[in-house]
Amino acid sequence: MTDRTSLERTVLKRAVLLAAVGASALVALGRFRPALALTLGASVAIVSALWLSDVVSRLAALKGRAAARFDWKLGLKAALRYAVMGALLFASVRVVPAEVPWLLAGASAVVLAVAAEAAVEIRRATRGGSGIL
């Protein structure tokens, strides 16, 4: 596991916050299965984002090397990431089969967190402020 940049930490914290708020709202409305589906989808997406961050940081470290050769461990980790995430999503669909839209909504938590971070950065760049929404 590599050290996370402040941007990665911010995006992951926002993803967790978005998923927690969504699941809490569903639980408050008495919708426990959709809340479970949203939580499962968000957890798969967050773990996938962490793993992808490690792969990308490893690729960036390899870019500085002169010799361009295939690192089989890195390729195996990248392929394994997709296999594990697919298996987790399949298991999640089997656990809550009627709540697939909520599962996909949870899986979008990281994307929404990245969009929120982009909005903050755009606001910070245009206004020159602190960037807090």
The answer for residues whose C-beta is within 8 angstroms of residue 114's C-beta and 6 or more apart is 11
Q: pLDDT at position 15, please?
A: 92
The residue behind tokens 């390729």 is 75
Share of the chain above pLDDT 90, in %: 20
- 119-128 pLDDT tens trace: 888 888 888 7
- 38-71 pLDDT tens trace: 998 898 888 888 888 877 777 777 676 655 566 6
What is the sign of the dihedral through the CA atoms of 78, 80, 86 and 91? negative
The tokens describing 49, both together, are 């984002």
The CB-based long-range contact list for 69-78 (8 Å cut-off, 24+ gap) reads 77/51
Neighbours of 70 (CB within 10 A): 7
